[in-house]
Structure 1
Amino acid sequence: MEDKFFRTVLGDKSTDEMGLTYSHEHIVIENSYVTVKHSEFLLNDVDKISEELINFYNAGGRTVVDTMPANSGRNILKSVEVSRRSGVNIIVPTGIHLEIYYPDNHWRYTISEDELTRLFIADINEGIDEFDYTASTVKRIAHKAGLIKLATGDEPFTKHQEMIFRAVVNAHLETGAPILTHTNFGRQALEQAKLFEKLGARLEHVVLSHVDRAKEIDYNKAVMDVGVRVEYDSAFRWKKEEPNHTLQLLEKLLPEYPDQIVMGMDMAKNVYWKSYGGSPGMNYLIKTIPDFLKSKGMEEYFQKLFFDNPKRLYAFSNTIG
């Protein structure tokens, strides 16, 4: 049996090299449809991004999962540059983001399931388009996608979204690439999990993001009982006057679901980056989660959250590609 690998922008690596991993980040967000209206999402300064990642590396961080999929702010050349400068492994996705990241006349609304499947597979197996599908031509380069992303909102899935689910699972089963999703405050997470199960996805390689925003312990249990993984990234977001629901969920659920939870920062806004003059900065989890776990007598789960679980989750589930 071949060693398990994960796919970074600089090539495939053994999962033994993954190290401390943040499971949902936004490392590069280039000028794009969404940043025109929301400049706080602009993350395209290579020097500042590299500075933040170098500090992350010096604190023990080794891998980050970027979550900007096709034609929504992805810039593969900048991702490659900051990975080389910092030494941090970066996993970049293919896939499709929420509808709000694209204009109403975007090609996502007219492309077929088969065409979308083949686009995802090409990003993974051949290389990402240097122009990220913004030009009249496609120029694939050597740097490949290492996972597939999709996103849903507050409402029940549309037919268009269901088509994206099918294309994502098609590409996942063909290539072995893992799947990551966006949920709005955890809404529709259970429905996502059940649809992935119905479509035959390898659930141990599927992670649903932001489910801690749903707050409810029983709901998080129901999602994980389907067999998927969940990603928590709101530990720094809760208001001071309310409970830290992320930490409460960790305390209650880690003993029962030790292999199904991962964590990240999801710092999509530049005001969260210290290198952009904001806070709390990428090292927040490295600094705070060990102390929290120690205070609860749960120190052993740090290894699970940031090392063991990402290592299994983000490994390719077959040797194709």
Structure 2
Amino acid sequence: MSKPFFRTVLGDRPVDEMGFTYSHEHIIIEDSYVTAANPEFLLNDVAKITQELTAFYKAGGRTVVDTMPANCGRNVLKLAEVSGRSKVNIIVPTGIHLEQYYPENHWRYTYSEDELTDLFIADIEQGIDRFDYSGPLVRRTEHRAGLIKLATGDEPFTPHQEKIFRAVVNAHLATGGPILTHTNFGRKALEQALFFEKLGAKLDHVVLSHVDRAKDIAYNRAVLDVGVRVEYDSVFRWKKDESNHTLRLLETLLPDYPDQIVLGMDMAKNKYWKSYGGQPGLNYLIETIPDFLESRGLEHCLDAIFIDNPRALYSFFKNPD
């Protein structure tokens, strides 16, 4: 495919088919080590998830970015099924999540940088293992990853995390696939951005998530000034008796950084899904953000946040041979 493309669980698509995009979601979290410790994270009912995604599609949504990477609840077969049934494009990640979502003896700690690099590249170029590397057999599917994820916590980066950074950037540069990260309430976002810059990543294809939780406008500016993109996803999380820091950041920063900000819901808990009997539901941003932007004279930024910026961010910067 010579034209710019993004890679969905059902195949590559031209970027002009991405449409209205949510940039950080959790669509499937399978029964796993993660959900054993956090039952509220269980999201594996195909019928309920299809119902929510279908409502999203009817409201104008076209693409969602799933963010559960290798061997921590990812189920590529279910992701492919709900994508096909709902018509919503789903971008699926490879990569590694926070340490807390893996047992202490997990292979992530023993694999070398080269081995992790090869695993991430295989997910992107060959297909994701139907068993999600739960071992010992690997049966690759036709469904390929469209981005690479890593995560850091509150502490300074450890040698293990730096190894994952290098493997992620290796795979990113080898394949052209975009990078998405987790930050804890925005902490270490600036350090992430600077380390990606040092490692030679294509910064306009790197997005750091949850940075709105840091609240501080100057800190967000410092991150954006490095050249990465940021993803905000806490519009619905702020308590009624406190300021909505996400909306305040959008109002303040969109005029200066219109090409670097994207939004998502990050509904990792089933209590947020209407199809599971919760609130506010996946359509919350579609229902609220246009009116907010219009009220602030920023209606021209709607397409940037949900269409133009995701197209530029999640497209591959290298075409396959």
TM-score (ref. length: structure 1): 0.99
3-state secondary structure, aligned to 1:236:
coil
Matched, 1:168 2:168: yes
Give the deviation of 1:37 after TM superposition.
Answer: 1.6
Number of residue pairs aligned between Structure 1 and Structure 2: 321
Task: Kindly state the Cα deviation for residue 141 of structure 1 after the two structures are TM-superposed.
Answer: 0.9
After TM superposition, give the deviation of residue 312 of structure 1 in Å.
Answer: 0.3
| 1:1-321 alignment, distance < 5 Å | 2-320=2-320
| Unaligned runs of at least 5 residues, structure 2 | none
Deviation of 1:38 after TM superposition, in Å, equals 1.1
CA distance in 2, matches of 1:175, 1:61: 27
**What is the rounded CA distance, in whole Å, between the counterparts of 1:264 and 1:182 in structure 2?**
13
Deviation at 1:253, TM superposition (A): 0.2
Deviation (angstroms), 1:291: 0.6
Q: CA deviation at 1:190?
A: 0.1
* In 2: Cα distance, 1:131 partner to 1:40 partner: 22
Q: Distance in 1 between matches of 2:37 and 2:191?
A: 30
Match of 1:300, SS?
A: helix
Q: Which runs of 5+ in 1 are unaligned?
A: none
Q: CA deviation at 1:34?
A: 1.4
Deviation at 1:308, TM superposition (A): 0.3
Deviation at 1:193, TM superposition (A): 0.1
**SS of corresponding position for 2:174:** helix
Moved over 3 A (4+): none
Amino acid at match of 1:49: I
How far did residue 21 of structure 1 move? Answer: 0.1
Report the CA distance between 1:46 and its aligned residue.
Answer: 0.1
Show CA shifts across 1:251-293 (max 9, x none): 0000000000000000000000000000000000000000100
What is the CA-CA distance between 1:72 and the residue it aligns to?
A: 0.4
Cα distance in 1 between the residues matched to 2:197 and 2:77 = 35
Q: Percent identity of the aligned residues?
A: 74
* Matched residue SS, 2:121: helix
In 2, distance between residues paired with 1:80 and 1:173?
26
The code of the aligned residue for 1:2 comes to S
Q: Distance in 1 between matches of 2:168 and 2:73?
A: 19
Secondary structure of residue in 2 paired with 1:156: coil
